[in-house]
Amino acid sequence: MRLRKKNEAYLTSCQKHGSIDTMKAMAVGEFKTHFSDVLGEIMSGKKVEVLYGRAKKPVAILVPYSKEKKIKRKIGILEGKMSVKFADDFEMTDEELINL
């Protein structure tokens, strides 16, 4: 009961600061005991944070798996500031590329 109140207080604190949207925090022992239930919550879209030790140190966050997650990444710090074009007759061997 006491652990649950600490978890709820932590969750409320995180929600106030905007660091998480909807996340449940639980100790390792509670996580092990309710593993199937926790997996059900994760599959329904919720996040679960696992806390370890007496200090309740966060060690993991479990989130739903998504194959469709695409991350657009910038390639280099000069993206949008310059462009590179190769001539149609440009050729380079693997060995030349490696020796650059």
- pLDDT exceeds cutoff 90 at 49: yes
Q: Is residue 81 part of a domain?
A: no
Total structural domains in the chain?
1
Q: Is residue 50 part of a domain?
A: yes
Say what the pTM is. 0.47
DSSP state of 79: B
Count Cα neighbours of 65 within 13 Å in the Cβ-side half-sphere.
Answer: 3
Confidence of residue 16 (pLDDT cuts 50, 70, 90): very low
Confidence of residue 19 (pLDDT cuts 50, 70, 90): very low
Q: What is the pLDDT of residue 93?
A: 87
Q: Is residue 75 part of a domain?
A: no
- Residue 33: give the domain boundaries: 2-62
Q: Is residue 6 part of a domain?
A: yes
- pLDDT exceeds cutoff 70 at 66: yes
Q: Is residue 86 part of a domain?
A: no
Q: Which residue has the tokens 């370890």?
A: 52
> How many CB atoms neighbour CB 38 within 10 A?
19
